[in-house]
Amino acid sequence: MRAMVFDGVGTPLRLADLPRPEPGPEQVLVAVSACGVCRTDLHIVDGELAHPKLPLVPGHEVVGTVAEVGSSVVRLRAGQRVGVPWLGHTCRECRFCRTGRENLCAGARFTGYDIDGGYGAYLVADQRYAFALADGLSDAEAAPLLCAGLIGYRALRKAGDAAKVGLYGFGAAAHIVAQLARFEGREGFAFTRPGDSQAQTFARELGAVWAGDSDTPPPEPLDAAIVFAPVGALVPLALQAVAPGGRVVCAGIHMSDIPGFPYEYLWREREIVSVANLTRQDGEEFLTLALRVPVRTTVAPYALEDANTALNDLRAGRIHGAAVLNCHV
Ligand SMILES: [Zn+2]
Ligand SMILES: [Zn+2]
């Protein structure tokens, strides 16, 4: 099968011909049709996440069709459309797993990081961590739901019942969260790279009530802010944008250092929290909600062998919406 393979930091992904994986008893073989390109993939390729499996097939926003099932598989059947997310395995026994916080399991393994992912024609996935996908969106349009949407959903839930929500970094996740926020009767405030008027227009089209530069204060104090951009300097800015009692949610898996700031920015019960990974319950809740909204995704399509171009375009901020690889050709 064709796949794009990561050999280590400093080398671009390489197009390879790999043996098709065989599903174990609890696994399904998925014929991948589309795989989203997530900022986490960039962090892996750039060496900011330290210990990927090597060589690695990246990709954790996977949509495809079950081609084969292992001997113990009961949840999924051949021919079914499925989504494979970042969370690929947990121990199911630790205190986190037993209390609905499997996203924090120390034994968790992640798709496209510890386990080969979706930048290829096939992958194997544990049936217990894959999601059955309803119709509605095309495979390419559904792919960004599997991480950008899911992590965005978890971040929005961490923002509590905030009515005015700031979104710092208007990429794949924020373009979905803006739609969820509007659906829930919240007001979204989009902060982009200074001067990126295209992204600001895009944010208003998706329901943001205001869009502006990230170094500009919002027109009124916010109840919460979600920082999607991997830029630590945004955290003190977001703290200044939220009202007393407001919360800043850091949604990325990696961020540059947060610079020092006066205690006054945090004072009056403002909070900074982070979001890590996802639980399977997040996935079920979000995919149900996404159908009701209904969430529409804006996709920039790339051929599988152009994965390096997609990563470079994401790094440069040239993508509006989500980059998605067309994997099964
Ligand atoms: Zn566990
Ligand atoms: Zn991701």
Q: How far is the CA of 317 from the centre of ligand 1 (A)?
A: 36
Q: Collapsing DSSP states into helix, strand and coil, what is residue 224?
A: strand
Q: How far is the CA of 290 from the centre of ligand 1 (A)?
A: 28
- The one-letter code for the residue type at 155 is A
Secondary structure, 3-state, 121-160 = CEEEEEHHHCEECCCCCCHHHHHHHHCHHHHHHHHHHHCC
d(CA 320, CA 17): 31
Question: Residues 6 or more apart from 34 whose CB is under 8 A from it?
Answer: 62, 63, 64, 138, 139, 140, 142, 143, 324, 325, 326, 327
Tokens of 8: 């280590």
Tell me how far apart the alpha carbons of residues 28 and 31 are, in angstroms, rounded to a whole number: 10
**DSSP conformational letter for 319:** -
What's the one-letter identity of residue 125? A
| Residue whose entry in the numeric block shows the structure tokens 């209904």 | 294
Q: Give the SS3 label for residue 245.
A: strand
Query: Model-level pTM?
Result: 0.96
CA of 269 from ligand 2 middle (Å) equals 30
Question: Vertex 172, ends 64 and 46: CA angle to 5°?
Answer: 90
CA distance 63 to 174: 20
Distance 100 CA to ligand 1 centre (A): 10
Q: What is the mean pLDDT of each run of 10 residues along the chain (329 residues)?
A: 96 97 98 97 94 97 98 97 98 98 98 98 98 94 97 97 97 96 97 95 96 96 97 98 98 96 98 97 97 96 98 93 91
CA of 39 to the centre of ligand 2 (A): 6
pLDDT score of 199: 94
> Could you give the 3-state DSSP secondary structure of residue 95?
coil
What is the rounded radius of gyration, in angstroms, for the C-alpha atoms of the chain? 19
Ligand nearest to the CA of residue 323, numbered in listed order: 2
> What ligand is nearest to the CA atom of residue 103?
1
Ligand nearest to the CA of 151: 2
Q: How far is CA 152 from the centre of its chain?
A: 7
Of the listed ligands, the closest to the CA of 97 is 1
pLDDT score for 34:
98
The Å distance, Cα 103 to ligand 1 centre, comes to 8
Ligand nearest the Cα atom of residue 91? 1
Which residues have a Cβ under 8 Å from the Cβ of 329 and sit 6 or more positions away?
2, 121, 303, 304
- Using DSSP bridges, classify how beta strands 210-213 and 222-227 pair: parallel, antiparallel or unpaired: unpaired
> Which ligand number lies closest to the CA of residue 276?
2
Contact 192, 169 (CB under 8 A): yes
- pLDDT for 50: 85
Q: Which two tokens stand for residue 35?
A: 């795989």
